[in-house]
Amino acid sequence: MTSAPPVARAPVDLTPAEAARVVRSVLAPLVAQGAVVRRPRMTAWAERRQSDRTARTILAGLRERYDGAPLVLRVGTRRLVVVTHPDDVRRLLAGTPDPFTPASEEKRGALAHFQPDGVLISPPEDRSERRPFNEAVLQADRPVHDDGAAFVDAVARATGRLAETARATGRLDASSFADAWWSVVLEVVLGPGARDDRRLVDVLGALRRDGNWSWLRPRRPWLRRELDRRVESYLHEPAPGSLADGVVALGGPAAAGQVPHWLFAFDAAGAATLRALAVASARPAVRDRLRDEWARAGAGPALLPYARACVLESVRLWPTTLAILRESSRPTRWDDRTLPAGSGFVVVSSFFHRDTERLPDADSFVPEGWLDGRHDADWGLVPFSGGPASCPGRNLVLLVASHGLARLAELDLHVARGRYLERDPLPCTMDHLGLRFGLRPGRVAGPARRR
Ligand code: HEM
């Protein structure tokens, strides 16, 4: 990302009417959909209302009115600052963890239900140990993880089974996809022995639903103990070629405590893959290019640049981290105004990712923007965040998701409501949980074709 110094604009206090509009039509829909696990009825509602389009209109209007200054509002006793300029995104993300900690009050309340030791909500003294641990096990800086061959084998097995079912029934939907995806996730993170551990998924799911309510929902320590016991049962004799193996090899006091975040975060990778598959199924040119790349790729964990770019474009268009939150650990100066310690900062991802004023192709499917590096250089495009707390799982996600996408693009799928996806502009909100695909008759080629 570029390194020109950011411009500081003095934050402005919104009028009560403006603040109410931001809370009602920008922030509330994000919370309602479920920050930690999506609520299907609310994601369907958000798609019907195209809530991200409304949010964009409101924030773009306020940005224009206040010349890109950060927008200050109160929610109860909490001071929130919604930024609208990429320079301010950069300031927040590059200034992490000090003075802008990712362990905001909202996030601690939400994530402590199932991952109290996770790096994202760790205090600075623990972060300095847990962040390098995450980077090392996930091999954050390597496009292809050393255990990539085992990971893509897991993808091959699960997508192979999914393809068989799709051929038998003529259908594929979000729930059959999710089942296959969990097999991949459990195998990649904990090894083949965990592949069918749906109890673990259920326990994690229950705790994530608690997390949606943050501090409002009492903790359920007995469920968390069950989650920890199940995770630890796979760490006694960790399967080679799984992340569990790396966890045990590196060890350390909070090693096992990082695993629940990985399991939870892989869910987002499934959503991104499914949405990219929907676009590919509606656009023959995208699907053909995926197939072509796949046909030419070598065996094993090949790098699939176009498929990776499609997954990145999916999380640009429909970000899975709906808002990136920061909290100031000390007073911060913004031009001629100082905001007190404890202010909460909000980056509404979809607003920046779909900013029609800055991005000529804001509402178009343009994976090329990731292939030529343009998007990576833009502090407004942060599907995996940016700066020192950016997602250390990004490369791993792109490896697993690109192989999943490439294999499923081999199926001749058509997507229900594909007419909304076959051409630009693409809808601002897409409910991945409502996606349904059919198999075009007469074609039986499937993901098991090559390997
Ligand atoms: C599409 C999939 C994913 C997306 C879009 C994504 C995005 C993000 C974002 C935006 C953050 C920063 C959150 C914040 O600053 O508040 C983050 C943090 C993190 N992600 Fe991911 N993530 C994904 C999947 C994964 C996976 C699969 C793993 C692990 C296997 C992972 C590991 C982490 C960790 C450990 C952090 C915390 C980093 C820190 O606090 O230093 N993520 N991710």
CATH number for the domain running over 130-323+381-427 = 1.10.630.10
Contact at 8 Å (CB) between 231 and 256? yes
CB 185 within 8 A of CB 393: no
Distance 150 CA to ligand 1 centre (A): 22
**Helix, strand, coil distribution of the chain in percent, nearest 5:** 55, 10, 35
112 alpha carbon – ligand 1 mean position (Å)? 16
Residue 86 β-bridge partners = none
Specify whether the CB–CB gap between 244 and 138 falls below 8 A: no
Q: 394 alpha carbon to ligand 1 midpoint, in Å?
A: 7
What is the full per-residue pLDDT of the chain (451 aa) written as tens digits? 644 555 678 999 999 999 999 999 999 999 999 999 999 999 999 999 999 999 999 999 999 999 999 999 999 999 999 999 999 999 999 999 999 999 999 999 999 999 999 999 999 999 999 999 999 999 999 999 999 999 999 999 999 999 999 999 999 999 999 999 999 999 999 999 999 999 999 999 999 999 999 999 999 999 999 999 999 999 999 999 999 999 999 998 889 999 999 999 999 999 999 999 999 999 999 999 999 999 999 889 999 999 999 999 999 999 999 999 999 999 999 999 999 999 999 999 999 999 999 999 999 999 999 999 999 999 999 999 999 999 999 999 999 999 999 999 999 999 998 889 999 999 999 999 999 999 987 654 444 445 4
Q: Is the C-beta atom of 257 inside 6 A of ligand 1?
A: no
Query: Looking at ligand 1, which atom is closest to the CA of residue 320?
Result: 5
Report d(CA 101, CA 446) in Å as an integer: 46
**Ligand 1, atom 11: closest residue by C-alpha:** 391
Does the Cβ of 120 fall within 6 Å of ligand 1?
yes
Atom in ligand 1 nearest the alpha carbon of residue 272: 1
Of all protein residues, the one whose alpha carbon is nearest to atom 20 of ligand 1 is: 391
- Whether residue 162 contacts residue 450, with contact meaning beta carbons closer than 8 Å, is answered with no
Whether 151 is in the pocket of ligand 1, judged by its Cβ within 6 Å, is no
Q: Are 126 and 236 in contact (CB under 8 A)?
A: no
> 193 C-alpha to center of ligand 1: Å?
25
Dist. CA 271–CA 430, nearest whole Å = 10
Please report the pLDDT score of residue 299 as a whole number.
85
| Structure confidence at residue 445 (pLDDT) | 47
Burial 335-372 (b: 16+ CB within 10 A, else e): eebebeeebbbbbbbbbbbbbeeebebbbebbbebbee
Partnered with residue 100 across adjacent β-strands are 328
CA–CA gap between residue 74 and residue 22 (Å, rounded): 11
pLDDT of residue 417: 86
Ligand 1 in reach of 131 Cβ (< 6 A): yes
Report the separation in Å between the CA atom of 392 and the middle of ligand 1, taken as the mean of its atom positions: 6
Q: Which atom of ligand 1 is nearest to the CA of 243?
A: 30
* Pocket mutation for ligand 1, best pick of 381, 391, 397, 398 (most atoms within 8 Å of C-beta): 391
pLDDT for 448: 45
Question: Ligand 1 mean position to 393 CA, how many Å?
Answer: 6
Query: Separation of 2 CA from ligand 1 center, angstroms?
Result: 21
For ligand 1, whether the C-beta of 383 sits within 6 Å is yes
Distance from Cα 210 to the centre of ligand 1, integer Å = 20
Cβ proximity of 144 and 399 under 8 Å: yes
Q: What b/e sequence results for 262-290 when a residue is b if at least 16 CB atoms lie within 10 Å of its CB, and e otherwise?
A: bbbbbbbbbbbbbbbbbbbbbbeebbebb
Which residue's CA is the closest to the ligand 1 atom numbered 4? 384
What H or E segment, with its residue span, contains residue 110?
A: helix 105-111
CB of 254 closer than 6 A to ligand 1?
A: no
Residue 413 has a pLDDT of 97
CB of 397 within 6 A of ligand 1: the answer is yes
Q: How far apart are CA 448 and CA 451, in angstroms?
A: 6
> Does 343 contact ligand 1 (Cβ within 6 A)?
no
Distances (CA, A) of 447 to 3, 121, 245, 267, 402: 43, 39, 28, 21, 13
Is the sign of the CA dihedral 264, 382, 271, 163 positive or negative?
negative
Closest ligand 1 atom number to CA of residue 315: 5
Max CA-CA distance within the chain? 67
Please tell me the predicted confidence (pLDDT) of residue 1.
60
